[in-house]
Structure 1
Amino acid sequence: MDSPIKCLGKWFDSSLSDKANVERIRSQLQEGLKQIDKSALPGKFKAWLFQNALLPRLMWPLMLYEIPTSSVECLERKISKHLRRWLGIPPSFTSIGLYGRSNQLQLPLSSLVEEFKYAKTRLVVTLKQSQDSSIRNAGIETRTGRKWSASQEVEQAEKRLQQKDIVGITAVGRQGLGSSKITLWSSAGNMERRRMVQDEVRAAEEEDRRAKAVAMGAQGAWTKWTTTERKLTWADIWSYEPLRIAFLLRSVYDLLPLASNLHRWGLQDHPKCQLCDTTGTMEHILSSCTTALTHGRYRWRHDSVLQELADKLERERTKKRPRQKPQMIQFVKDKRRLKN
């Protein structure tokens, strides 16, 4: 009654419920985001602090305590709001662009909901595969609210993996027979099965994000592209200027202040291009405007890029480098010939 008790990393109070712990997690997140936001660092470094400092501290209590999935989604919305402001993108930017793993442009950010589901399924599988029979037969329930159930997700993942065993190895695209190898569920050990179930949960979460992206009109247009995927690392983000990161994200998800977007947002009366009467979409402005082509604007843009590359190559060519002495190879004579 006087003070809570901590056992195995979990706090217990007189109510024997996790409401106070859920509030503690919420306040910890708000305080962490507030401290990161108040720092004098650029926005990209603030995003790195969340990913590598604040998020790992939240995962352990999220796995232990009985917190509903809807509450975790509310926490993720607060996180996404800060990430959008730190990266310089508008509030309408979809969260699929922040946390997607199959997008054309992938950021090194993790979704709190996905990590929560990943941790809960790991807890369910760990208790299910425990070597202690009393723990396996104790009937411990991992409660995650009505919206999503960790135990049901584990069962569905196991069924999908068993179905993959029946289907066998399939070739994708131009792969030859036997070019890919997979781990079968029937022959996998406990550690491998645990990893396979967790990977299946991540794949299901990414599939839901992909389905939502296909249903989007403007910000989901990248699902129809045939270009290769691009994964941004933290080293890439650190080397970019803030405006360059914002422009890259806005251009991929069609959020640039183009004539068509300004008209859709109610900031302009017509969606026409300033040079011609065609609708000013991003494709039209970048490569389809006949007036810009006639005036040589596209050629000037390409020549500017080539000039920058030529200057860089010329500086590297004329750079003085220290001469290195040639390394001589010392041959060793055959001992048998010397004896003869």
Structure 2
Amino acid sequence: MKYKQQKKAILLLADGTIFEGKSIGTDGTAFGEICYNTGMTGYQEVFTDPSYFGQLMLTTNAHIGNYGVNDDEVESDSIKISGLVCKNFSFNYSRVNAKGSLENYFENENLMAISDIDTRAVVSYIRDKGAMNAVISTNLDIESLKEQLTTVPDMNGLELASKVSTKNTYFYGDEDAPYKISALDIGIKKNILRSLAKRGCYIKVFPYNTTFKEMEAFNPDGYFLSNGPGDPSPLKDAQEVAKEIIKQNLPLFGICLGHQVIALANGIEIYKMHNGHRGINHPVKNIITGKGEITSQNHGFVVSKEAVEKHPDFEITHVHLNDDTLAGMRMKNKNCFSVQYHPEASPGPHDASYLFDQFIENIKGSKS
């Protein structure tokens, strides 16, 4: 079994709380808002999810790295988390189709990580105190780290979509597919594109600041607003795109950050949650069908349920059963719907994959 001497490292929270551990990957320092994911598997998909950009990821599963990494299990072109906090890190891995170790993966991507942390204690603490900025470091000069931590911007009002969005338009899928989709990339996951493509969609993916006219020029059958990181409030260009699509009553589907953008485009408030929802076991109820779904979620902001209830043009379609927050909505007289969670999963259950089928049905209805 491989053994490696690990350096001492610390996790320092913005309120001064310190947890001691050991370093993994590269030495150094990493800053971000600390959040926790309750999933028991799918760590590589989580680490490469653009929605996690700017965050230190704390994993509640006790073992990370035990099945290595695989090139097919990424949701973007690189690791997007700022750093990792975990309990037990496996330098050895055991899976037939693994392409390498998580340790080497981190080293190749220059990611800072820390293990041997009492993750239950950290989760319990931030669950009570709320999400906050933090730093992990092999530099043990506490006062210096505290001073640096004060310069890290708060997630409220922070625009991060531009950091992860594509710089240039690109196509995905079969160009002879029956449906064409214009997708706004504000942090899109690869499995969303796969989910659309396998339902007969040819997708043109546009940068975060693209105008409606540019997206319209593709002559699409439907429009998609993706997931992504940060606060949706600064995304004024994306909100204008949503407004114009809705104004023309074109088929529109939004996921996660895209869902929040649709809300803001219609004057519906969003707010930052105490902790957010991150994991692959979140229970949601479909109000329309009465059925329950186990879902994959990753968000720190949420659309105000009360504001949607008061809005004359919207109705609630899904609620989160743990805290009764809004999980989905649709417009009453427009071809527009959105959800706060991830129907493409990856990782996670496939209970909500029908939403992509619903989008295709909306497109068919619009074309007819």
Coarse TM-score class (shorter-chain normalised): under 0.3
Q: Which structure: greater helix fraction?
A: 1
Larger Rg: 1
When the two structures are superposed, what TM-score results if normalisation uses the length of structure 1? Answer: 0.26
Q: Which structure: greater strand fraction?
A: 2
